[in-house]
């Protein structure tokens, strides 16, 4: 039997939704596994604790697969928690609609202009925002320009959002909060910059200024891609099959800037932290958790390790990562009050070692040009400004440079899944295939490396040194000798 409202009778009581079909109050763009295992759960729990019409209209930008699956299941999907000592599965009932923007953009625009909708949340990955990684500014390319200057159906997320805001203004539908739940640095601030730029282009700055807020957030839960095992596990616990099942670690955290002009769910009753300034949390999480995740992913993938947990067990890896945290990351940031970066780092390593979580190194390694700036390059920049040489963070960049060349230490192919893949390949092909040549070719990616980093001769020498070691001796020997 498939999951549906009618089939809930067959589902164990403790796994059933904690709310009845809610009315819409939120539009969510990007129906990622991460969203379903994170914001959807917090929102369901907030409604269960304190009520409110905060059902989520799920909007997929272009891929029908998940929204079709959720629609066929009457809006239901399940989340399985994978603990080191056991698992549990629950069905989430917070969805209040499912839409595919590519198929019906007008319906999405109308939804954004509905006065009942008071919040838009987004998980569209770093590249969905079309921001220059080095400067954080909106990249007004042909695709986005066409969204702004013609009436064609919007093909970009910023294009869809601004179309929705224009319609909301015309409908006089009242204020709204736009909440980025992606791993961008100062995501609220970046969202604000993006919307302000678009509002100027559309001549609606005055209204946007009065009616739109962009609260920043720190989002955190490790949610590996769904596999056949996820579906089987959910089916075993629920007694019905769920085609939209997701799984994640037990840990889940959400720190949200409390700036919602038209109200919000009582997320604090679901364990979220509402605060005046989430940025210390964001910086800590991006540079420590995500920075270390990327470090293990690039080195692990080149060493032929399939999962983060397996890569963490490479000899020398855990030591290297601890030094990365202590010597480079911790001095680069001011943690939130009462938090110690080294203790936080140890917690992160325990989470990465959870044997029930099979997070692929190649999944974390994807989109490196989008992920490196906030996760690693900001650490390097801060340390260079302070006159230090962050050796371990530099090793991570060298490992990425080794990874994008596409062959592992054992000679197996490595996937280059990145919006700048073509530029990377072209730059690599144009220069000599020596460590010097590769470092120069990649430092020339100007939306990734700021001029300060690209022109830093000492940093360049350090990168060449690490890349030479990685190419000559491989990851295992490099870590052992470090
Ligand atoms: C990961 C993140 O895939 C990745 O790049 O580093 O998705 C990470 O698992 C989450 O940010 C954890 O909160």
d(CA 159, CA 59): 14
Q: What angle do CA 174, 177, 180 make, to 5 degrees?
A: 155
The model's pTM is 0.96
Regarding whether 246 and 345 lie in a shared domain, the answer is no
**Pocket residue to mutate for ligand 1, from 32, 33, 34, most atoms within 8 A of Cβ:** 34
**25 & 167 share domain:** yes
Q: Are residues 228 and 292 in the same domain?
A: no
* ipTM here: 0.99
| Ligand 1 atom showing the smallest separation from residue 290 Cα | 6
- pLDDT for position 104: 95
Q: What is the pLDDT along the chain (482 residues), one digit of tens a residue?
A: 999 999 999 999 999 999 998 999 999 999 999 999 999 999 999 999 999 999 999 999 999 999 999 999 999 999 999 998 899 999 999 999 999 999 999 999 999 999 999 999 999 999 999 999 888 899 988 999 999 999 898 999 999 999 999 999 999 999 999 999 999 999 999 999 999 999 999 999 999 999 999 999 999 999 999 999 999 999 999 999 999 999 999 999 999 999 999 999 999 999 999 999 999 999 999 999 999 999 999 999 999 999 999 999 999 999 999 999 999 999 999 999 999 999 999 999 999 999 899 999 999 999 999 999 999 999 999 999 999 999 999 999 999 999 999 999 999 999 999 999 999 999 999 999 999 999 999 999 999 999 999 999 999 999 999 999 999 999 999 999 88
Do 104 and 231 sit in the same domain of this protein? Answer: yes
pLDDT score at 134: 85
Please report, for residues 88, 299, 371, 396, 457, the alpha-carbon distance to residue 469 in angstroms, rounded to integers and kept in the order given: 44, 12, 24, 13, 19
Residues 6+ apart with CB under 8 A from 88: 15, 80, 81, 237
Closest atom of ligand 1 to 34 CA is: 7
Residue 164 token pair: 């929705």
Tokens of 327: 């010597």
Looking at residue 25, its pLDDT comes to: 98
> Do 263 and 313 reside in the same domain of the chain?
no
Q: What CATH number does the domain containing 42 carry?
A: 3.40.50.720
Cα-to-centroid distance, 222 and ligand 1 (Å):
6
Which residue of 32, 38, 126, 183 sits with most ligand 1 atoms within 8 Å of its CB, as the best mutation to test the pocket? 183
273 lies in the same domain as 285: no
Task: Tell me how far apart the alpha carbons of residues 194 and 187 are, in angstroms, rounded to a whole number.
Answer: 10
Q: Which two tokens stand for residue 297?
A: 């992913």
Q: Point out which residues pair with 98 in neighbouring strands.
A: 58
326 and 253 both lie in a single domain:
no
**Ligand 1 — pocket residues by CB below 6 A?**
183, 220-222, 290, 293, 363-364, 371
355 and 477 inside one domain: yes
Instruction: Examine residue 1 and state whether it is found in any structural domain, yes or no.
Output: no
Q: How far apart are CA 177 and CA 262, in angstroms?
A: 8
Is 305 inside a domain boundary?
Answer: yes
In ligand 1, the atom with minimum distance to the C-alpha of 183 is 11
Do 40 and 182 fall into the same domain? yes
Structural domain containing residue 450: 280-481
Instruction: Say if residue 304 is in the same domain as residue 243.
Output: no
Same-domain check for residues 296 and 253: no
**How far does residue 7's CA lie from ligand 1's centre (Å)?**
33
**Assigned domain for 177 exists:** yes
55 inside domain = yes
* pLDDT for the residue numbered 109: 97
Strands 24-29 and 55-60: parallel
Strand partners, 254: 219
Is residue 14 located within the same domain as residue 111?
Answer: yes
Whether 233 contacts 164, CB under 8 Å: no
- What's the domain count of the chain? 2
436 domain residue, yes or no: yes
3-class SS string, 406-417: CECCCCCECCCC
Which of 248, 277, 306 represents a domain boundary (last residue)?
277
pLDDT of residue 12: 97
| pLDDT on residue 21 | 87
Place of tokens 């990874």: 403
């Amino acid at each position: 039997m498939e999951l549906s409202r009618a089939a809930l009778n067959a589902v164990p009581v403790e796994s059933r939704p904690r709310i009845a079909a809610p009315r819409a109050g939120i539009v969510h763009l990007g129906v990622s596994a991460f969203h379903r295992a994170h914001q959807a759960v917090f929102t369901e729990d907030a409604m269960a604790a304190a009520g409110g019409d905060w059902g989520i209209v799920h909007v997929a930008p272009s891929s029908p697969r998940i929204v079709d699956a959720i629609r066929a299941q009457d809006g239901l999907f399940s989340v399985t928690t994978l603990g080191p000592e056991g698992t549990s599965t629950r069905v989430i009932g917070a969805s209040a609609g499912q839409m595919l923007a590519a198929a019906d953009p007008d319906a999405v625009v109308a939804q954004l202009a509905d006065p009942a909708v008071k919040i838009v949340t987004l998980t569209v990955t770093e590249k969905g925002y079309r921001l220059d990684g080095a400067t954080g500014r909106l990249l007004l390319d042909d695709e986005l320009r066409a969204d702004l200057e013609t009436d064609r159906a919007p093909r970009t997320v910023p294009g869809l959002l601004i179309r929705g805001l224009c319609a909301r203004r015309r409908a006089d539908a009242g204020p709204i909060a736009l909440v980025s739940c992606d791993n961008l640095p100062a995501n609220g601030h970046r969202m604000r910059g993006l919307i302000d730029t678009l509002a100027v282009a559309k001549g609606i700055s005055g209204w946007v200024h009065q009616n739109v807020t962009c609260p920043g957030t720190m989002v955190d839960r490790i949610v590996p891609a769904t596999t056949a095992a996820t579906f089987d596990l959910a089916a075993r616990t629920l007694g019905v099959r769920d085609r939209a099942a997701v799984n994640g670690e037990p840990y889940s955290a959400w720190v949200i800037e409390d700036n919602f002009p038209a109200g919000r769910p009582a997320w604090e009753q679901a364990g979220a932290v509402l605060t005046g300034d989430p940025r210390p949390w964001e910086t800590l999480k991006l540079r420590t958790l995500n920075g270390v995740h990327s470090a293990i992913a690039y080195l692990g993938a080149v060493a032929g390790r399939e999962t983060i947990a397996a890569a963490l067990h490479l000899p020398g890896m855990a030591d290297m990562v601890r030094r990365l945290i202590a010597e480079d990351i911790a001095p680069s940031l001011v943690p939130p009050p009462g938090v110690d970066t080294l203790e936080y780092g140890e917690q992160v390593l325990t989470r990465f070692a959870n044997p029930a979580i099979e997070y692929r190194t190649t999944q974390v390694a994807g989109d490196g040009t989008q992920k490196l700036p906030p996760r690693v390059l900001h650490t390097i920049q801060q340390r260079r400004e302070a006159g230090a040489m962050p050796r371990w963070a530099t090793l991570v960049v060298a490992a990425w440079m080794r990874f994008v060349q596409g062959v592992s230490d054992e000679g197996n192919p490595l996937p280059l899944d990145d919006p700048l893949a073509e530029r990377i390949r072209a730059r690599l092909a144009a220069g000599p295939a020596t460590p010097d040549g590769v470092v120069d070719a990649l430092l020339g990616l100007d939306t990734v490396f700021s001029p300060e980093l690209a022109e830093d001769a000492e940093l360049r020498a350090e990168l060449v040194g690490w890349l030479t070691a990685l190419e000559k001796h491989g990851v295992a020997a490099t870590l052992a000798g470090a």
